[in-house]
């Protein structure tokens, strides 16, 4: 459809012209991103002490590329104002790490356990603003910002979901850090390209209903092994577009232990890539109601109508009482 390519172009222009709704540190009070950055270490380079991968929109330590030990980097070597330190260890083949950066404008610490659990803490020394990113082994990430009486908290299935809610704050606290951890890849640019890719390929990504997924999930608890294998095979065939539904199911307390393990195995297989690309991220977000709810306020009415038609086809109920002529409200106000 010709209109989709037009929407993709418009989407790329419009998406990042907005800022977080929350109060944000004025540029003069935050980090000066135009200043000349001091040289950085090669801790996370190809032959460094640890390698990070972006997988399913989450940061993971590469289990095959790490070197145990500790190191420190400073410029010049005796400089106490700018230092980087890192310690890498491993148990059962799973790497863990502690990394810290200290310079006059910001203090950052990054802790990783067993490759996938991560906590990032950032403090802007001039304003005292603090931010914490918490990434559990499974489940939602949490981004918290504190400055004076201000306390903002955002949740999402991935860093892409969090960027859709507070791109300004994440760039302020973690923009340079993410580029360092990903050895030069810019997470903000990946986020932007993902949204453009998503609108461009929207009509080509298969629509999957919650009902269809629920039936297959129920099949995973069948007493018959053949039924369990069939349900598993069907879920794998659905691929990445089914990921949002499967993540939602994992939040339920009604799952049997083996059923939960099979869902996690399906997710691990359908989302298994060496590194995320805008195309792979887009395919896993097309059916993600939470993602569309977060970005709806940045979209044109024409784009929202296009997406709303898709969401309706997914059997996602509209909020009762909303004006049928206000697609923007229908998407952004749908319940979680």
- What is the pLDDT, as a whole number, of residue 72? 93
Q: What is the CA radius of gyration of the chain?
A: 21
- pLDDT of 329 > 60? The answer is no
d(CA 133, CA 209): 32
Instruction: Give me the number of domains the chain comprises.
Output: 2
- Region 135-155: mean pLDDT is 93
Q: What is the dihedral of CA 70, 76, 79, 85, to 10 degrees?
A: -20
Instruction: Look at residues 181, 194, 259, 274 and name the one whose alpha carbon lies nearest to residue 222.
Output: 259
- pLDDT of 211 > 50? The answer is yes
Label residue 305 exposed, middle or buried (CB < 10 Å: 0-12, 13-18, 19+).
Answer: middle
Task: Print the domain residue range for 145.
Answer: 2-200
Please provide the average confidence, as pLDDT, over all residues in the chain: 79
Q: Are 98 and 110 within 8 A, CB to CB?
A: yes
d(CA 159, CA 142): 9
- What is the pLDDT, as a whole number, of residue 78? 61
Domain shared by 225 and 186, yes or no: no
d(CA 192, CA 199): 11
> Residues for the chain: how many in total?
336
For the ranges 52-56, 208-212, 213-217, the one whose mean pLDDT is highest: 52-56
Measuring CA to CA, how many Å separate 69 from each of 39, 43, 66, 75, 261? 22, 11, 10, 21, 34
d(CA 117, CA 141): 10
- What is the pLDDT, as a whole number, of residue 273? 61
- pLDDT of 172 > 70? The answer is yes
**pLDDT tens per residue, range 268-283:** 787 666 688 998 898 8
Enter the tokens of residue 30.
């935050």
Domain shared by 190 and 142, yes or no: yes
Domain shared by 195 and 216, yes or no: no
Domain shared by 195 and 256, yes or no: no
- Backbone φ and ψ for 120, nearest 5 degrees, come out as -115, 130
Q: Which of 144, 173, 200 is the last residue of a domain?
A: 200
Sign of CA dihedral 171, 174, 175, 176: positive
- What is the pLDDT, as a whole number, of residue 207? 73
Domain shared by 33 and 79, yes or no: yes
**pLDDT tens per residue, range 5-18:** 443 443 443 443 33
Domain shared by 221 and 161, yes or no: no
Domain shared by 230 and 108, yes or no: no
Which has the minimum average pLDDT: 18-22, 202-206, 246-250? 18-22
Domain shared by 279 and 310, yes or no: yes
Which has the minimum average pLDDT: 29-33, 45-49, 100-104, 323-327? 29-33
Q: What percent of the chain has pLDDT over 90?
A: 39
- pLDDT of 160 > 50? The answer is yes
DSSP per residue over 213-244, as a string?
HHHHHHHTT-SSHHHHHHHHHHHHHH-GGGHH
- What is the pLDDT, as a whole number, of residue 255? 84
- What is the pLDDT, as a whole number, of residue 59? 96
Q: Which of 184, 200, 216 is the last residue of a domain?
A: 200
Confidence of residue 187 (pLDDT cuts 50, 70, 90): very high
**pLDDT tens per residue, range 295-318:** 887 777 777 777 777 776 543 333
- What is the pLDDT, as a whole number, of residue 136? 95
Q: Are 293 and 10 within 8 A, CB to CB?
A: no
Confidence of residue 21 (pLDDT cuts 50, 70, 90): very low
Domain shared by 137 and 237, yes or no: no
Domain shared by 218 and 149, yes or no: no
Q: Which of 200, 230, 245 is the last residue of a domain?
A: 200
Domain shared by 191 and 213, yes or no: no
- What is the pLDDT, as a whole number, of residue 293? 84
């Amino acid at each position: 459809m010709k209109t989709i390519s037009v929407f993709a172009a418009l989407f790329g222009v419009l998406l990042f012209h907005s800022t977080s709704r929350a109060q944000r540190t004025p540029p003069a009070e935050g980090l000066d991103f135009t200043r000349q950055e001091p040289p950085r270490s090669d801790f996370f380079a190809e032959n460094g002490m640890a390698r990070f991968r972006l997988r399913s929109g989450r940061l993971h330590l590469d289990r095959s590329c790490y070197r145990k030990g500790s190191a420190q980097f400073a410029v010049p070597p005796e400089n106490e104002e700018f230092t980087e330190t890192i310690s890498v260890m491993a148990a059962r083949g799973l790497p863990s790490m502690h990394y810290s950066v200290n310079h006059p404008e910001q203090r950052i610490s990054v802790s990783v356990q067993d490759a996938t659990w991560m906590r990032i803490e950032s403090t802007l020394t001039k304003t005292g603003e603090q931010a914490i990113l918490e990434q559990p082994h499974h489940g939602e990430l949490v981004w918290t910002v504190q400055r004076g009486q201000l306390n903002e908290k955002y949740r999402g299935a991935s860093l892409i979901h969090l960027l859709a809610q507070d791109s300004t704050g994440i760039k302020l606290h973690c923009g340079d850090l993410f580029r360092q951890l990903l050895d030069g890849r810019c997470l903000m640019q990946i986020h932007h390209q993902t949204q453009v890719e998503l609108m461009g390929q929207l009509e080509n990504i298969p629509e999957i209903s919650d009902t269809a997924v629920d039936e297959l999930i129920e099949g995973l608890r069948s007493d018959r092994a053949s039924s369990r294998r069939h349900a598993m095979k069907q879920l794998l065939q659905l691929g990445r577009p089914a990921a949002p539904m499967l993540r939602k199911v994992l939040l339920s307390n009604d799952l049997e232990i083996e059923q939960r393990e099979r869902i996690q195995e399906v997710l691990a297989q359908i989302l298994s890539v060496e590194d995320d690309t805008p195309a792979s991220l887009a395919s896993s977000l097309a059916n993600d109601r939470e993602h569309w709810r977060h970005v709806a306020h940045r979209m044109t009415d024409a784009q929202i109508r296009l997406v709303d038609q898709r969401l309706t086809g997914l059997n996602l109920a509209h909020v009762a009482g909303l004006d049928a002529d206000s697609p923007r409200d229908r998407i952004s106000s749908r319940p979680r």
